[in-house]
Amino acid sequence: MAISKQVKIFLKSHEGKKIVFTNGCFDILHPGHIAYLTAARDLGDLLLIGLNSDNSVKKIKGPDRPVNSENNRKLMLEALRAVDFVEIFDEPTPLELIQSISPNVLVKGGDWEIKDIVGSKFVQENGGEVYSLSFKEGHSTTNLIKKLQGKA
């Protein structure tokens, strides 16, 4: 995956800043996402999010997902104070995006062990840091969808 012209411009205009990268589906934003993204942003100067495309979300979460389109998910994320840039990716994992961006900090949620985080080896080999941040209890997009469907 080649990074977009917009990402190149963003990175070029912020040279010397500590770039934090995370990725995910972020289908229905909830307080857990906000807390997570704020904590991630606090680890550096700028937060760049790799957002799974609609096609990618369907492969990961199933045919009824995403609830919100990639453009709407991107719009909502970009409206958050903690988020500086959002790049949509279609690949099964964000590895190529991580390698293209070469962030200073890589972050995933607390359900990931650092050794299992996609791109962790690359980031660490290039002098970066990798973190697994704990979740805000009681918040889950999947559980929220089940509740809305009357299944919870």
- The catalytic residue positions are 59, 61
Cβ atoms of 47 and 41 within 8 Å: the answer is: yes
Phi-psi region of 114 (alpha: psi -120 to 50; beta: other; left: phi over 0): alpha
Distance CA 28, CA 101 (A): 26
Give the C-alpha distances (Å, rounded to integers) separating 91 from 50, 52, 54, 56, 132.
Answer: 11, 8, 11, 7, 22
φ, ψ of residue 51 in degrees (nearest 5): -105, 125
Distance CA 40, CA 133 (A): 8
Distance CA 23, CA 14 (A): 20
